[in-house]
Structure 1
Amino acid sequence: MSHINATLQQIQPVKACVRKHLPVVVKGTCLLETHKEEQMKDLRCAVVKPSYSVAVVAEHAVELREYEEQDPQKCLPVLLLTEDSDKEYLDDLKNELEVAINTKRIQYGTLCFILLNCRRSYDPEKRCKESPLENVAVTHKLSAEEKRKFAGKRQVLEKQYEPEFILTFVLMSEEFTEDYVKQFVEHLLQGINRHTVVTRLILYVALLNTYVQNSFISQSHCEALLALTIHMERFRQHEFESSLSEQAKLVFLHLRDDKTHIESIRIIHPLVAKEILQQLLGSKTQSSLAMDLLCENVLFEHRFGREEYLSFLRALFMRRSRISKGDKYDSSFSPLIEHVCENEKSPDKAIDLLKEAFQHFHKDPFFAQQLARLHYTYEKFEEAKHWAETAASQLPNNSYILDTKGQVYRKWFQAKCTAIDNGNVPKTAQNTADAVETALKALECFQECERAAEADMENINSSGFFSEVKVGCSLLKLISSLQVFANGANGHSECMKYLLTDYIPEEVEQAWGPFHGRLKKLQKTMQDALEWISEDLCYFQTDIVADEEGTHQCPEEKISQPLLAKRSSVYGKYFSEGYSTTLLQSGQPIPTNLTPFQKRMIIYHLGGSNMTSILSKLTDQKDAIPDLQCILSLYPKNPLKANIGQRDIVSYIVANITLNCLSPQNPMVASVKNLQALCHQFPSDKRKCLPGALFLLTLLFWPEDDDTDHEKETKYQFVQSAVEHLEKGYWTKMKDIPQRKRRLYTHFFLGSGNGLDKFVHKRKFESVTKVFSVSEKRMKWFRGEAWKKPEIAKMLKSVSGWTENGVVYLEGPQKKKFSILPLHVPSVPHSDENITFYLGFTFRGLVACNIIVKQK
């Protein structure tokens, strides 16, 4: 009971800013609450114990909400406080609570639960400015009124206790100022014996608490290190505390886990731990202390609480800093490893630490992966290759490790290119053969990564595809700079002839003998990779990039819509005639002697290669209209009579729609009827249609108000067939990954216009919501507030339908039901109702947004 009350007392200031009421009691073990049985007027509150599963927490939260209540529809909201919970835990908890609300059939719009997450941050005020609707900064700074009250209380306490016995209170009253903490630790450490085991224990705990959030060492581990022999359990705590020095007694905070009942210790505050580490180490380095801790076998092999201890030790060497998780900066390695490399100026010591960790953690392949990354960061490529291969030999199907292996060769290739440029040697096939071989090895690794990522049903990793394109572009740059290919237009033609045909110039024939076959596949493999990325982004583009929670499963670069457009343009530039692109951009007539391949590559260069790149022009509108006009002019004048492929048809149609969004009534835009006619060239067997083709069928064949019944029936059949196959493709793409991790992206909404004007792209809403930050926009869309904006309501067309057993329908031809996926499931009324909604178009099919029950 005392522990529960103490826990609540610690978080009372946070609760006070929400409601000045005490929580109520409820049966259950995963929620902490005060034992005062009185109903609150506004909220019921509880603290979540994250050691319990989200399913159990959700179950007990529902019990708390319904405690002594008669009507589930009219219960008080429950405020759940979590402390430093990671995003995945919170997402899972939110999902479980939503499921519980739906299962209980609570009326949509009823406030049931409030999640309040307290997270450590080095710059809370900045994060609050980025999203003031979601965050409140709680800092070490006190208001004038709080300072007055703290001073008064401190005077009262100091009459009863010495300052060292009320350390936490004194630190809070001093606002954790750097000078005070420094002086406090300096005073604390006076007279300490630096050579005792207890002092070594203080250093170990300080090291962990400085670098690993919420870390501790179990009391059992401490007893093992101090070689204590406890004969009677009831004297255990007394004997342990008696073995500690006076300094240790003052700075150690004693904890007890509510679930496992394991007792542990940590330093009273991370700032104090950091200062202890700096002052107590003396001439010793943090790397040597970390090595001592790692090699402290009595701690490493101790059985009780071993899992928690090893997880903290692992995080010490592996966990990267993330601003999104409250850290000061984003790091490439763990803060300890970066400290050793930068402050101790010793990458070799950092490497030795990771090597030792690799051995102690039973040759863990992820430590080998970190060693590979650290080695290539400092251009130690032979060693990096060794460690990457070591990791891959143990986990040959892990796409993240295969990506790291590819990155070793990519960085190595970059270093070789730099050496060639700086060495002022002639760029001949002989002098570049080694670099070309390294680039091809990188491509091979990234293709292995792609295959492993596609086979992995539980993780998302697109980095192999994007890295393949990056290396391919760099390799094209090197090839085109060779003396044999660098002679203007003639040299470029020679280069294209070599890469795209069976032709092999005499100058490269022997030196590049082993590479010819792979180099001639370069254009096709890069194009395939770009198409794969585009399709993936079409499904799962998001307005924010999810946090990278893993320590090792973090790609080199996050793939975004603008980044894809940029790489597609660079790829097209190398395979298109430079002078042709110049002519097009200057508005001069298109040369008549361009081949279909040259035209396609110029389209790539201008950003018209795929749906994602084209739609990105709605965001980055600089030169978008002239570029789109050039793109359309490169297609046959009458596409209906030309024999163009399915991907080209998709790109052509999307370019028309995009140009119409930017420049309505533009004379270059084809009519809806012509675009519909072009869709008839898609395969009649919808299983052979590309997802982009199926998406366009749902878009272009959505019926108009003035269509005849026969026209509507024909169009609905097109749409229905396309939706069925989109749905199948969606679940294949989703794998076994929770849907919350890959938010479905709605590209277009049904507008109030006619023809192509009835397609409203989501970016058009930017003018209405641009005053808000990204996270605020998400909250406004999620709550439904954004839909109520008159500017948005004016753009969109309201569609009538109804619900049956939680399914949304609208009426198709001949009274047929046409089911529509609700974008937000809880918005569907539980009873059968007549409704209105906005219609959205996604790569899963049609979705219903802003569902509103019609008033009877």
Structure 2
Amino acid sequence: MEQAATITEEHTVLGAIKAYVEKNPESTNTQLFSFLALLSAYLPKSYLLKSECKKILGSPDPIDERPPFEERMKPFIALINLSGNAECRCSLHAGTAQKALELLAELGFTRSEIVQNFIRLNFEYYRPHVVEYVKDLLTKRKISKKKKEQFSRLITDIKNKENPHNTVSVLETASDIFDQNPTFPQTIARLYYQSKTPDYDQAKWWALEAIERAPHNSYVADTLGQICKNRLIEADTDDVICMADEAFEAFKDVEEKAEWETGPGTKHAVSNSKSFNNRGRFGFIQVAKIAFERYPDSQKQSLIQNKQTKVEENFVFFEWYLTYSTPDMKTLEPWYFWKDVALCYKHYAKSSSADSTSFAGLLDLLNHGLQMSKGRRAGFNEVRKEVSELEKIQDVLKRSYEANPDSVDDAQRYILSNIILSNMEPDSAHITQMTELKKIISRFLKTDVGRRRPEFYLLVLLLFWPEQNQNVILDLEMYATYMERAFEKKEHAKYLRGRYLLPLFFLGKGSGLSKWIHKSKLDAIVENQDVGNQRKKWEIPKIHDMLLPVMVEPCHSLTTPQEQQNPKKEVFVCVGDKKIKATTEGKAEVQIDSSNRFYLGFTIRGPIVFKVKPPHKTDSSQTRWGCDKPQNRNRMYVDNVPALEHTSLISQSKC
């Protein structure tokens, strides 16, 4: 690999380049250098093949193809990295590229001019990755911890260092050349409506152009919804009703398209997306909230009558959606997300979200008051629930169940209220005996077999999970399978795809209902310990003291070198005198004497095993229960992975 100039040589080389460009501003090697500088500055891993560079330079001498590439690229060649063997790649160091761009700008070569010239290249003769560079330069937005940037870094720089008109001009050029791509007109639309002086008419025109190019894509359709929503915010009083109707219609279109989108790789899908696009539903909530706040008083009651049912449906959706999952393990929804949902619900339903006793609402009760709870992050004055409040809720749900003993929903909520109360106060006299709760849910086990919602099977597994040294009296494998199938068949898999499923309960060292530890207890410890990273919770001894380790076994003995190199990601989890099959994530390696611990939890999809390294040396007297002679069992050990990994249990009878 040929290295570019060192830092000490760089200043001299840039001086020579400046002198050359001033004399040869239109030469093809100057143009090629500007392309390489632009690409390397904004896409550090990008490159052009030497063969592609030669096409930009144009034909050399037709007889002997001289002078060679290196000669033709003087004085720029000193800054160009040449790498690769069969196909030489040309690029600049990112820092050098940035300096080169600044120099070119001083000489009159603006970023917008360079990228427009690059866009106008005849891409028929270039590899597909070069076309992708154009898309990334103009539309790829950086995602920070707090938010996703409005525009790509190049577009932002053109907007700030030059002027907004140039950004539109660049994108219009790209839109004309790549006339099937919806992202360029979509970005133009966002430029128009997000500017300091929005032009909503132009924004709408370009948004509709993007939709025409991708008629089934909900994310493209969302741009029109955002335009209509922002227009509603700024609308004159006389135009509010009309603008609201337009915004409602736009987000309805987004929601309908999102419903037809499926996960990547699905056959015969109208459109694919890694995760469900919730912007149609959330956009409706935002528009409904804005409309309520802006509608004339004389029209407000009509608005409530027309939209209340839809608002309540979306509240229920987001309540379980946010209780069961987060965008990923490290990310939460923006602070305003739940705020808008809860305030809109209060406007239309005249009820507080904090008083919800739905299944998801009950699960969320113990989160109230935590710093990272939905309510606290939304800025609400949300406090921790008192034991007396939970006892009142349990009493209300008990009476509701007794009045409707055939209602599965009432039975589920009553049972869950006992588990929640037990987490707050295990000795509460209001808690119903475990035997009675088992009788209640057993009444429903023989009807709609395998066809109920995952919430039902979650309660079955929680109630019938055996104590230490007890035998299993119910086929837990079967109900774990039912739970997973219910997750896949009901709306959960569709709407929660691509998201991190939160563990709702962990298996603890207590007995009865008290053996199930609500996730809020772990979260409270993390907050009290002032541990910024949730993954570090497994380093806190207090959490280890609270949870009960379970035992796992390998499904397969690794006999061949190939199996040892690529072990199957499967284990058995011992449950009483039974075993449930589990799949593992990460690089797995089985060792008989493992220092890892395995903790059992439950997501809305089913059982989940957390594999962690103890904060201190494992006590040899530590109880590991569930199988006979555990000291002779093989244990699962994972090498070279983060402190926390998880495995989803797939309940099958044979390994």
TM-score range (shorter-chain normalised) is: 0.7 to 0.9
Q: 1:279 aligns with which of 74, 88, 103?
A: 103
Gaps of 5+ in 2: 267-271, 374-381, 557-569, 613-623, 633-655
Judged with a 3 Å threshold, the aligned counterparts in structure 2 of structure 1 residues 564 and 737 are, in CA distance, closer, same or farther, namely: closer
Question: Contact 2:251–2:283 at 8 Å: present in 1 too?
Answer: no
What is the CA-CA distance between 1:231 and the residue it aligns to? Answer: 4.7
Q: Look up the match of 1:533.
A: 321
Aligned length: 575
Q: 1:336 aligns with which of 148, 154, 168?
A: 154
Question: Contact 1:388–1:404 at 8 Å: present in 2 too?
Answer: yes
Counterpart Cα distance in 2 of 1:191 and 1:393: 47
Counterpart Cα distance in 2 of 1:807 and 1:795: 24
Which residue identity is paired with 1:363?
A: Q
Q: Look up the match of 2:384.
A: 624
Q: Look up the match of 2:76.
A: 248
Judged with a 3 Å threshold, the aligned counterparts in structure 2 of structure 1 residues 482 and 649 are, in CA distance, closer, same or farther, namely: farther
Q: Look up the match of 1:314.
A: 135
Judged with a 3 Å threshold, the aligned counterparts in structure 2 of structure 1 residues 237 and 311 are, in CA distance, closer, same or farther, namely: farther
Q: 1:452 aligns with which of 237, 260, 268?
A: 260
Judged with a 3 Å threshold, the aligned counterparts in structure 2 of structure 1 residues 253 and 824 are, in CA distance, closer, same or farther, namely: closer
Question: What are the residue-to-residue correspondences of 1:841-852 with 2, within 5 Å?
Answer: 841-850=602-611
Question: What are the residue-to-residue correspondences of 1:634-713 with 2, within 5 Å?
Answer: 635-636=396-397, 638-643=399-404, 646=408, 650=412, 653-666=415-428, 672-673=434-435, 675-676=437-438, 679=441, 684-704=447-467, 713=473
Question: Contact 1:409–1:442 at 8 Å: present in 2 too?
Answer: yes
Q: Look up the match of 1:573.
A: 346
Question: Contact 2:600–2:607 at 8 Å: present in 1 too?
Answer: yes
Question: Contact 1:606–1:627 at 8 Å: present in 2 too?
Answer: no
Judged with a 3 Å threshold, the aligned counterparts in structure 2 of structure 1 residues 796 and 217 are, in CA distance, closer, same or farther, namely: closer
Q: Look up the match of 1:377.
A: 194
Counterpart Cα distance in 1 of 2:541 and 2:239: 65
Q: Look up the match of 1:291.
A: 116
What is the CA-CA distance between 1:810 and the residue it aligns to? Answer: 3.2
| Structure 1 residue matching 2:19: 3-state secondary structure | coil
Judged with a 3 Å threshold, the aligned counterparts in structure 2 of structure 1 residues 301 and 827 are, in CA distance, closer, same or farther, namely: closer
Counterpart Cα distance in 2 of 1:734 and 1:482: 35
Q: Look up the match of 1:407.
A: 226
Which residue identity is paired with 2:88?
A: E
Matched, 1:750 2:524: no
1:171-227 CA distance string (max 9 Å, x none) = 6xxxxxxxxx67863465235424241222222222222222222233233322332
Q: Look up the match of 2:355.
A: 606
Matched, 1:203 2:34: yes
Judged with a 3 Å threshold, the aligned counterparts in structure 2 of structure 1 residues 243 and 822 are, in CA distance, closer, same or farther, namely: closer
Question: Contact 2:394–2:414 at 8 Å: present in 1 too?
Answer: no
Q: Look up the match of 1:156.
A: none
Question: Contact 2:401–2:411 at 8 Å: present in 1 too?
Answer: no
What is the CA-CA distance between 1:615 and the residue it aligns to? Answer: 5.5
Gaps of 5+ in 1: 11-165, 172-180, 421-429, 487-493, 501-515, 546-557, 578-600
What is the CA-CA distance between 1:353 and the residue it aligns to? Answer: 1.1
What is the CA-CA distance between 1:633 and the residue it aligns to? Answer: 7.1
1:284-330 CA distance string (max 9 Å, x none) = 532233223322x3xx3362x43232222222112222447xxx995
Q: Look up the match of 1:443.
A: 251
Which residue identity is paired with 2:448?
A: D
Counterpart Cα distance in 1 of 2:40 and 2:367: 45
Judged with a 3 Å threshold, the aligned counterparts in structure 2 of structure 1 residues 375 and 646 are, in CA distance, closer, same or farther, namely: farther
Question: Contact 2:574–2:580 at 8 Å: present in 1 too?
Answer: yes
Q: 1:239 aligns with which of 68, 74, 85?
A: 68
- The two structures, once aligned, show a CA RMSD in angstroms of 4.2
Q: 1:350 aligns with which of 164, 167, 171?
A: 167
Question: Contact 1:691–1:726 at 8 Å: present in 2 too?
Answer: yes
Judged with a 3 Å threshold, the aligned counterparts in structure 2 of structure 1 residues 623 and 237 are, in CA distance, closer, same or farther, namely: farther
Q: Look up the match of 1:366.
A: 183
What is the CA-CA distance between 1:653 and the residue it aligns to? Answer: 4.7
Question: Contact 2:218–2:255 at 8 Å: present in 1 too?
Answer: no
Question: Contact 1:801–1:811 at 8 Å: present in 2 too?
Answer: no
Q: Look up the match of 1:725.
A: 482
Which residue identity is paired with 2:205?
A: H
| Structure 2 residue matching 1:229: 3-state secondary structure | coil
Counterpart Cα distance in 1 of 2:124 and 2:262: 40
Counterpart Cα distance in 1 of 2:12 and 2:7: 16
Which residue identity is paired with 2:389?
A: Q
Counterpart Cα distance in 1 of 2:511 and 2:588: 29
Which residue identity is paired with 1:722?
A: Y
Counterpart Cα distance in 1 of 2:389 and 2:348: 21
| Structure 2 residue matching 1:363: 3-state secondary structure | coil
Question: Contact 1:750–1:797 at 8 Å: present in 2 too?
Answer: yes
Question: Contact 1:402–1:445 at 8 Å: present in 2 too?
Answer: yes
Q: Look up the match of 2:618.
A: none
Which residue identity is paired with 2:161?
A: N
What is the CA-CA distance between 1:272 and the residue it aligns to? Answer: 2.2
Matched, 1:499 2:304: yes
Q: Look up the match of 2:621.
A: none
Q: Look up the match of 1:792.
A: 543
| Structure 2 residue matching 1:353: 3-state secondary structure | helix
What is the CA-CA distance between 1:338 and the residue it aligns to? Answer: 0.9
Q: 1:478 aligns with which of 280, 288, 291?
A: 291
Q: Which one has the largest radius of gyration?
A: 1
Which stretches of structure 1, 4 residues or more, deviate above 6 A after TM superposition? Answer: 181-184, 733-739, 830-833
Question: Contact 2:252–2:280 at 8 Å: present in 1 too?
Answer: no
Which residue identity is paired with 2:188?
A: L
Counterpart Cα distance in 2 of 1:634 and 1:470: 37
Which residue identity is paired with 1:471?
A: F
Counterpart Cα distance in 1 of 2:246 and 2:388: 37
Counterpart Cα distance in 1 of 2:208 and 2:388: 46
Q: Look up the match of 1:32.
A: none
Counterpart Cα distance in 1 of 2:83 and 2:161: 33
Judged with a 3 Å threshold, the aligned counterparts in structure 2 of structure 1 residues 654 and 567 are, in CA distance, closer, same or farther, namely: farther
Q: Look up the match of 1:56.
A: none
Judged with a 3 Å threshold, the aligned counterparts in structure 2 of structure 1 residues 692 and 218 are, in CA distance, closer, same or farther, namely: same
Matched, 1:559 2:307: no
The sequence identity of aligned pairs, in percent, is 21
What is the CA-CA distance between 1:437 and the residue it aligns to? Answer: 0.9
Which residue identity is paired with 1:729?
A: A
Q: Look up the match of 2:282.
A: 469
What is the CA-CA distance between 1:682 and the residue it aligns to? Answer: 5.7
Matched, 1:397 2:216: yes
Counterpart Cα distance in 2 of 1:701 and 1:350: 62
What is the CA-CA distance between 1:686 and the residue it aligns to? Answer: 4.3
Counterpart Cα distance in 2 of 1:801 and 1:272: 53
Q: Look up the match of 2:631.
A: 855
